[in-house]
Structures are given as C-alpha cells and as structure tokens.
Amino acid sequence: MEASNLALQQLKISGVHQQRIRKYSLLPGKRDASFGNMTPTLFYPDKKSRRVNKSSDIASLSCHASTNKENAVKLNNNLSIMKRKCTENTYGSTEVCSFSESIQNISSNTVHEKVGVLLLNLGGPETLDDVQPFLFNLFADPDIIRLPRLFRFLQKPLAKLISTFRAPKSKEAYASIGGGSPLRKITDEQAQALKNALEDKGLHANVFVAMRYWHPFTEEAIHQIKRDDITKLVILPLYPQFSISTSGSSIRVLNSIFREDGYFTRVAISVIESWYQREGYIRSMADLIEKELSKFSKPEEVMIFFSAHGVPLSYVEDAGDPYRDQMEDCISLIMDELKSRRVMNNHTLAYQSRVGPVQWLKPYTDEVIVELGQKGVQSLLTVPISFVSEHIETLEEIDMEYKHLALESGIKNWGRVPALGCTSSFISDLADAVIEAIPSATAISAERSHINLAEKDPLNYILSLFLGSFLAFFLLLSPRAFSLFKNNLL
Ligand SMILES: C=CC1=C(C)c2cc3[nH]c(cc4nc(cc5[nH]c(cc1n2)c(C)c5CCC(=O)O)C(CCC(=O)O)=C4C)c(C)c3C=C
Ligand SMILES: [Fe+2]
C-alpha cells in the first residue's frame, strides 16, 4: 500500500467560524469524487480553530461543488445533496451529526417513536479459524487499504493475499489470549449496560451492535433494526476519536445501506461521530489512571504513557483524518483533569500496531519504550487510548510484547490501565450522549443514484480492468515480486 500516494477522501478545512456557529462542507475527495461510491467526505476545521471554538454549539454542514468543475458534475450525478446538522459542545458534549441526503425534519409528536441505538465496532475473530476470513474482511475495506482508482478492483485479491500471509502471525497472537477476540462479548455487555442506563434515565431504547469485520455484521444489525420497527436511530461508534479507518469506514457502509433501503426514509437518524471530549469519558479515564497510579510505590514518579492505535501518516497528512488532532486534544483534556486533581505526572503519547511498509503516525510505541528505558525512566503506566474494550492489542501487544520490551529496556515498574469496558460512569455518559443526540435526528430521502463505473465511463472501466489484471498477474506469478511483497507488506 503506497499510502502517501493513495489519498482517497480528501478531508480539507473549510470551516467558516462564527460565534457559536460553524459551517462545514461535504465535498468530494479529489480522486474519490469520480468513483461513484458516494462516500461522503467530511471536512474538518483545523486543530487550532477547533480549540478556539470549544464553546461552539452548532455546526451546520452544507454541500457544495468542489473546486473542480468535473468533480462537481460527478458529485451531482453520484451524490445526492447531503446536509448535516451538527451539534458540538466540546468538553461536556459530543460531535453529533444528523445526516443524510435531503433532510426532512420529523417532529417527534407526529409518530409513535421507537428509539434504537446502533453501536459500531470493529469486531474480532471468535475462534482461530475465523482469523483469516476476519483479516480478509479488514484488508478488503477500501478505508483500510486505500488503492488508487485504477487498481480498486484488485482490493479483494490483495486482501486474500495479505490475509493469508498474515494469518499465522495473527493466529499466534489470538491463541495467546485464549483463542479469539473478546470484543463481541464485551460489546454485547456494553450494549446491555447502555440499554439499562438509558432506561434508568427514562428512555426506552433497543441497542444494536454492528461490527465492521466480523459478526454481528452491519447487515445483521440492520435486519434487527427493521424487525424492531425502529423509527429513531442514534449511531454511536465505540471509538472515542474519529478516524477514516474506523468510525468513518462503518459510517460509509451504513450510508450506502441507508441509501439503498427504502425503510430508512422513515427513520430519523443521528450520528455521534466522536465523543472523546465528553466530560464523563474524560473523568472516567482520569479515574482509571488515578487508581492504577496509586498501585505504584512512588506514584508521582510514574510516566503516564498513552498508547494509541496508529494509522498511516498519509491518512492524516493527505486525507485530513482528524484522528491525530483528536487524540492530542483528548490527552490534553485527560491531563488537565488529572492536574485539577493534583496529579502532576509527566506524560507522553505514542502510536502502536502498525502494519505494512508505509510510514504510520509517530512516535512509535515500541521505539518510545526503548528510549524511555534508556533515559532512566523507572516506572511506566501504559494507557490504551483509542478503544474502550480490551482486545488483542491490549491483551497481547501491550500486556505481553510491550511489557517484555519495557522490562528489557530497563524499566523496573510496569502498569497498564484497563479499558473502560462497562465502567458505570462511562456508560452513563454514553447514555447522556445518546439522549442529547436524539433531538437532532433527521430522516433521509429515498433518492438513489448508484451508477457504476462501467455504465458511467466504459473506456476507463476497460482500462482499469486491463491494468489491474496485468498487475495481479505480475504480482501473483513473478516469484521476485511475490517475495518482495511477502517481505515488505506483511
Ligand atoms: C481506533 C482504533 C483503531 C484504528 C485507528 C485502527 C486502524 C487500523 N488497523 C489496521 C489493521 C489491523 N487492526 C487489527 C485489529 C484491531 N484494530 C483495532 C482498532 C483500530 N484499528 C482493534 C480494536 C483491533 C482488535 C480486534 C480484536 O480482534 O480484538 C488487525 C488484526 C490483528 C492483527 O493481525 O494485528 C489488523 C491487521 C489498519 C491497517 C488500520 C489503519 C489503516
Ligand atoms: Fe486496527
């Protein structure tokens, strides 16, 4: 994956900042606009303006043509006009967007509402036999391996190849944590806890789980939502910070289902895109950190080491993924909260779990651990920060690999903050986020506009097929290309 050249969705700054009102734009990515896959592209304001606008309450998103006229025409052909109404209330609230194509406000008193909450998560293999097909689903996601347009149809053969070669290593990791991912079980528990918390706050809601790469898949959740006759739906990714590769990917899949399925023209929908800035979440994280610090003999000397899941650098630098900015904001909010409790420890942030030969967000967790050891840091408290459940990368990568590396590098005292899981203050805050999102739920219209590449541009289509087949042939049959691929990409 030549990540620096593969920017698909271009997330660019288009914020018009006014007092308490922000305007975002949904523009096509430079390349993606011509795809016809109708992926909406969110444009985020830069970090500085987001910080300045902490008190912003409302962000409205409107759709307009890109700078490129051709793209604008394609956009009109392929994308129905999308509008968003967003409510952002930093630190204390959530980035909430109701979407999608044309907005019809549904007044809550006209129909008998049945509220649903859809939790989005990554999913994980439940048995060792699931590992390869799970990896296939992950690498087949165009938001995970971002191929240029011409090579898009190679996505699945490439996913098959990478998943087959990666599976033995991944299986070993899953075997070491009991033979499968705990993600489904934990997410189901979180769903039940959220349902109970909502009930306690006076809202009866059905809570569904949609995993991106393993069961229960998005389609299974959609089936249940329809079976239960849900009329208002709040979409809540279980990732505190937004990334194109996580929440973005799940929302893209949902968006295409909603556009195709007439049922959803009758459903008012609200999407909570990120919620790392919520007071309840920040406080819950600070509580966990304080508790773990107190287990060290000299808590004040402990380095608090935030380890976030990485993304390729090109996501942030070329495609405008807000993930790094949100991560940094999140950590400064947690540290501010700790300081307000007189916890004045040093802290640092690094990124873990990189895959493949491209550059990922730096600094890398393993390199920082070695450096900290060399600098004489004696005590380290690792805080997994991009995810709210235990999973392979906390249980295996952090608890086994990084712990071993830290002790080898001279760090004497090691600790790790557990994931939030079903911590009651956290679940209660998620319930508040859901309740706050309901008023901004809006319905989507029934416009559909799938035009596939072959219908739209037959010459281009034939050319891509030809070049793609050539590349696949070369990669699969040339022993040298094959071993280069195996050594570098896996
Ligand atoms: C915020 C969290 C995550 C981001 C960002 C993310 C991006 C990302 N991940 C991969 C590749 C892999 N991820 C894998 C597992 C995995 N990833 C996350 C979270 C984020 N990923 C979680 C919670 C899990 C674990 C699920 C579980 O089973 O417990 C894996 C599989 C494990 C392995 O083989 O290492 C891969 C591969 C990429 C390429 C990427 C960004 C482009
Ligand atoms: Fe991942």
**Minimal-distance CA residue to ligand 1 atom 4:** 309
List, chain by chain if needed, residues with CB within 6 Å of any ligand 1 atom. 122, 124, 135, 138, 144, 166, 170, 181, 183, 239, 243, 245-246, 309, 311-312, 355, 386-387, 391-393
Report CA(332)–ligand 2 centroid distance (Å). Answer: 23
What fold is seen in the domain 279-416? Answer: Rossmann fold (3.40.50)
Give the residues of the chain that fall short of pLDDT 50. Answer: 1-93, 99-110, 447-455
Q: Which atom of ligand 1 approaches the CA of 121 most closely?
A: 23
Q: Is the Cβ–Cβ distance between 65 and 71 less than 8 Å?
A: yes
Residue 208 pLDDT: 98
276-293 per-residue burial string, b: 16 or more CB within 10 A, e: under 16: bbbebbbbbbbbbbeebb
DSSP 361: S
Both structure tokens of 195? 């349902």
Both structure tokens of 70? 């051709």
Residue 183 pLDDT: 98
The reply to whether omega before 363 is within 30° of 0 (cis) is yes
Residue 475 pLDDT: 53
Q: Is the Cβ–Cβ distance between 66 and 31 less than 8 Å?
A: no
Both structure tokens of 191? 């769903």
Closest ligand relative to 213 C-alpha: 1
Report CA(352)–ligand 1 centroid distance (Å). Answer: 10
Residue 464 pLDDT: 55
Q: What is the ipTM of this complex?
A: 0.93
Report CA(451)–ligand 1 centroid distance (Å). Answer: 32
**Minimal-distance CA residue to ligand 1 atom 32:** 170
Integer Cα distance of 238 and 468 in angstroms: 36
Integer Cα distance of 301 and 293 in angstroms: 10
Number of residues written out for the chain: 490
Both structure tokens of 319? 């495609």
Q: Fill in the amino acid letter for 269.
A: I
Closest ligand relative to 239 C-alpha: 1
pTM of the model: 0.78
Integer Cα distance of 28 and 9 in angstroms: 7
Q: Which atom of ligand 1 approaches the CA of 310 most closely?
A: 5
Closest ligand relative to 141 C-alpha: 1
Residue 454 pLDDT: 47
Nearest in space to 78 (alpha carbons), one of 41, 43, 51: 41
The residue extents of the domains of the chain are 128-180+452-489, 279-416
Q: Which atom of ligand 1 approaches the CA of 323 most closely?
A: 5
Using DSSP's 3-state secondary structure scheme, residue 24 falls into strand
**Scanning the structure block, which residue is given the tokens 């959530």?**
94
Integer Cα distance of 88 and 56 in angstroms: 6
Residue partners of 112: CB distance under 8 A and separation at least 6: 231
Q: Which atom of ligand 1 approaches the CA of 241 most closely?
A: 1
DSSP 21: E
Q: Which atom of ligand 1 approaches the CA of 392 most closely?
A: 29
Residue 234, strand partner residues: 117, 270
Q: Ligand 1, from 177, 392, 394: best to mutate by most atoms within 8 Å of Cβ?
A: 392
Please give the C-alpha separations between residue 17 and each of 23, 83, 91, 120, 369, in angstroms, as whole numbers: 7, 18, 19, 30, 40
Residue 36 pLDDT: 25
**Scanning the structure block, which residue is given the tokens 């590769």?**
245
Both structure tokens of 289? 């950190």
Rg (the chain; Cα; Å):
23
